[in-house]
Structure 1
Amino acid sequence: MADTHSNAGAIWALGMTQIIGYGTLYYSFSILAPGIAIDLGVAVEWIYGCISLALLAGGLISPWAGGLADRLGAGRVMSAGSIGAAAALAVCGLASSTTAFLAGMVLVELASAFVLYSTAFAFLAQTTGTRAQPSITYLTLIAGFASTIFWPLTTWLLQTMDWQQVYLLFAGLNLVVCLPLHLWLSRFARIVAARPIETVAAKTPMIVDNGDLVFILIVLGFSLAGFVSAATLFHMVPMLGVLGLGTVGVWVASLLGPAQVASRLINMGFGQDLPATVLAVVSAITMPLALGTLALSAPSTAGAILFAIIFGLGSGLFSIVSGTLPLAIFGKAGFGKRMGWIGMGRLGLSSLAPFALSVALGAIGPKPSLWILAVAGLMCVAVFGDVWRRCRPIGQKVAAVNQPTDAVHRQG
């Protein structure tokens, strides 16, 4: 019972750091970007170009950050990342030129590789034993409030502060709140490491048709999902405004967080026995469905609300799948580095998204841009559908292409 309570405390502490991490390093950007562009005297597309370059840098460092989490422990990596995140946000807050702001954004994404979901999931895989997969679901349930809190909060702060002061405040949050929590989590991980090794039998393994190809498909699937998600989330509030929602857009967008939380609650209640491969397909389907709904219904407020709810449901499930799918198929060995490679693919393609959609919105308008994103979402559905086809629990019939030498990957 004591172990259960201590694990719950660790998940809550980690959830708090994820709310602040995603809120300050990710969700706040789209609210701050227009003011940054005005003050620095550049087009807003240039500001989104900065985040695109920064996402690329974050993707390139992700495998290294994941490898460090495997070798040194994810808690230590996140502690160092908190200091880096605070420093990066401070650089953004002190930036008085476009070059300085670009440098700050690159540092923000480099720090993100050490403190956000990839490393947090590795921490749970290292510390929660056979409870790793449900622990990931609990964490994403808590962290799902990041957008709900930080989109309105950032908007409210801009009424009394400029964007530079907001960045400095966010730097302080990472230093004063996240760093102590990550240091405590690092200590918690050392205590867990000293416990006797679990002797509980492993869960049912999966039979995988061509494990290397499946991993490539997983990276591709999450890369496509990351592209659609990044393009949509970075532009959600201004795009809803362009579509005719005006200031209502920020409150419609804030429904994303509750929808994410709702999807995780539904998954906890009814989807615990659903294979991660199936959940990946279900998650992918929501993206083109949501984007198509918005494109067909705009400027209807009801349609925008439905879009935000559907997209939020899918986004919430994807947060779970991004950790549970590789864990279910490949197990805990090298989990941090696998998450790093997935992060590199996801962020590499996502790095194109903010700038590409910013240009597309100006060149062809919001509705054609939404249909392009929907097509990318359909491609994601096809990729995860193939992963589902190639991976089956023991006892289920596998596709006829399987050979006797197919690898069997057991969970940790």
Structure 2
Amino acid sequence: MHAERSPVAAIIALGVTQIIGYGTLYYSFSILAADMAKGLGWTTEWVFGALSAALLIGGATAPWVGRLIDAIGAGRVMAVGSLAASASLAACALAPGGVAFVAALIAMETASNLVLYGAAFALLVQIRPRAAQRSITYLTLIAGFASTVFWPVTTALHERMSWQDVYLVFAGLNLAVCFPLYVWLSLGLSKQGGAAIGQQSAVAGLLAPAQRKAGFRLMLVGFAALSLVVAAILVHMIPLLSGLGLGTSAAVVGTLFGPSQVLSRLVNMVFGRNLPPIALALIAATLMPASVALLALTAPSTTGAMVFAVVFGLGNGLFSIVIGTLPLALFGSEGYGTLQGKVMAARLIVAAMAPFAFAFALTTIGAGLSLAVTALLGGLGGLSFLAIRFLVGPARAA
């Protein structure tokens, strides 16, 4: 059977929505958190605690989202999610007090499950299953610019307006740009048969039925460990680098992260087309903990921080691909939305406390020890993926 072509228009449209989605719903938070805390009369740690609670509750809804994606199609779910994301951003901005703010934050993290990578990957699988691994790589290549675009954009907007006004601008972006694109994608998917399309070219998984339970558990442990590292570091990236003595250069160093993500995906796309997802998972699980350990050992060196940002970005760029491609490779395309829902739930629930815990650790045991513990926890991911490789067997893994 000839290889399916990637749906270029759908990938570009999803790339735009993922840049806006991650930029407005995730990357902007760390820059606006201090101003949020000041307005609410809270400490910054408690604002990150509210984010952790929102991630935890949002994670609990992810399996339901996954089943809904399989039932009605990812395009429709993402269209509804875009409206919910816009409304929740506006609700955060207009919240009269702490309780309303936390409720809106919970709604925002729940809406993010409907529009970010998990749903986007499922949409690509539903459109063309046999092209999905390649399509996911292309999508993550585009979406890797989210932090590069939205860290400086958020900072520039916040210099001119309050965090509430910034969130209202972001609500407008989701409504005016993302919603029409999701409606278009939904209509296109419906014309091709909705969630049931691509059945004739469905992808089979590498794991035998008897291996699936063990493989699923190992995959969840690996994803959860690396998601914890990502959640702890990314939310605190700019404040962490500033606290390590980099001062105003922290934002410049932080901008290296986004291009490094893109670079790793570009290199993988050009030179690693035949590299299996298990191998990518092992590489990502090596790079990210190693970069965190390097930052702990070299701080406050600007050079060390720059190397950290680049290597961490390289690892996270590959990890974003693996989140979509490894479940597809191991378990196949049938019921992929439900599987992604379970993966999202595990990742979000385990990582939910990471921003709050890391902020607390920074103030109690210091940056060096906090980074060392984070690196050790990330190392569990590599061990889990190594175990999956042995479970599958070298021949099938390749």
> What TM-score, normalized to structure 1?
0.92
Distance 2:365 2:205 in 1: 50
Correspondences of 1:57-206 after superposition (within 5 Å)? 57-193=57-193, 205=206
1:51 aligned residue: 51
Provide the rounded CA distance (Å) in 2 between the counterparts of 1:395 and 1:234: 37
**Post-superposition CA distance 1:325-349 (Å, at most 9, x none):** 0000111111011111011110001
Distance 2:167 2:317 in 1: 26
Alignment correspondent of 1:355: 356
Q: Specify the alignment match of 1:296 in structure 2.
A: 297
Quickly say closer, same or farther: Cα 1:306–1:126, change in 2 above 3 A. same
Shift of 1:257: 0.8
CA RMSD of aligned residues (A): 2.0
Describe the SS at the equivalent of 2:325: helix
CA contact (8 A) 1:207 1:392 kept: no
Displacement after TM superposition at 1:395 (Å): 6.0
Q: What is the CA-CA distance between 1:98 and the residue it aligns to?
A: 1.4
Cα distance in 2 for partners of 1:208, 1:54 equals 35
Secondary structure of the 1:262 match is helix
> Match of 2:216, as an amino acid?
F
Q: Output the CA distance in 1 between the equivalents of 2:8 and 2:216.
A: 31
Range 31-40 or range 92-101, more displaced = 92-101
Distance 1:125 1:159, change over 3 A: same
1:251-330 → structure 2 map (5 Å cutoff): 251-330=252-331
Structure with greater helix percent: 2
8 Å Cα contact 2:129-2:202 kept in structure 1: no
1:403: which partner in 2? none
Q: Tell me: CA distance 1:34–1:389, structure 2 relative to 1, closer, same or farther (3 Å).
A: same
Kindly provide the amino acid, as one letter, of the partner of residue 140 in structure 1: T
Deviation at 1:394, TM superposition (A): 5.8
Unaligned runs of 5+ in 2: none
Q: Give the secondary structure class of the aligned counterpart of 2:393.
A: strand
Mark the runs of 5 or more structure 1 residues left unpaired by the alignment: 398-412
CA distance in 1, matches of 2:83, 2:4: 30
**Deviations 1:199-229 (CA, angstroms, capped at 9, x unpaired):** 5696794557621011011111111111110
In structure 1, the residue matched to 2:246 is: 245
Distance 1:6 1:282, change over 3 A: closer
Distance in 2 (CA, whole Å) between partners of 1:324 and 1:196 is 19
Does the 8 A contact of 1:277 with 1:391 survive in 2? no
- 1:191 is displaced (CA, Å) by 2.6
Q: Is the 1:89–1:104 contact (alpha carbons within 8 Å) kept by the matching residues of 2?
A: yes
Where does residue 39 of structure 2 map in the other structure?
39
Cα deviation digits, residues 165-196 of structure 1 (max 9, x gap): 00111011110100000000001112333899
Q: Using the alignment, how far apart are the partners of 1:248 and 1:364 within structure 2? A: 24
Superposed CA offset, 1:88-115 (max 9, x none): 1001111231112111110110001100
- 2:332 is aligned to 331
Structure 1 counterpart SS, 2:330:
helix
8 A Cα contact 2:83 2:174, kept in partner: yes
> CA contact under 8 A between 1:74 and 1:119: conserved in structure 2?
yes
- C-alpha distance in structure 2 between counterparts of 1:391 and 1:4, whole Å: 25
CA distance in 2, matches of 1:46, 1:329: 39
Q: Which 4+ residue blocks in structure 1 deviate beyond 2 angstroms?
A: 3-6, 191-209, 392-397
Of 203-212 and 331-340, more deviation after overlay is shown by 203-212
Q: Deviations over 1:268-289 (max 9, x none)?
A: 1111111111111110011111
Q: How big is the shift at 1:393?
A: 6.8
SS in 1 for 2:334: coil
| d(CA) in 2 for partners of 1:201, 1:182 | 24
Distance in 1, matches of 2:206 and 2:300, equals 48
Q: Please state how far the C-alpha of 1:198 moved relative to its aligned partner.
A: 7.2
* Partner Cα separation in structure 2 for residue 137 and residue 126 of structure 1: 16
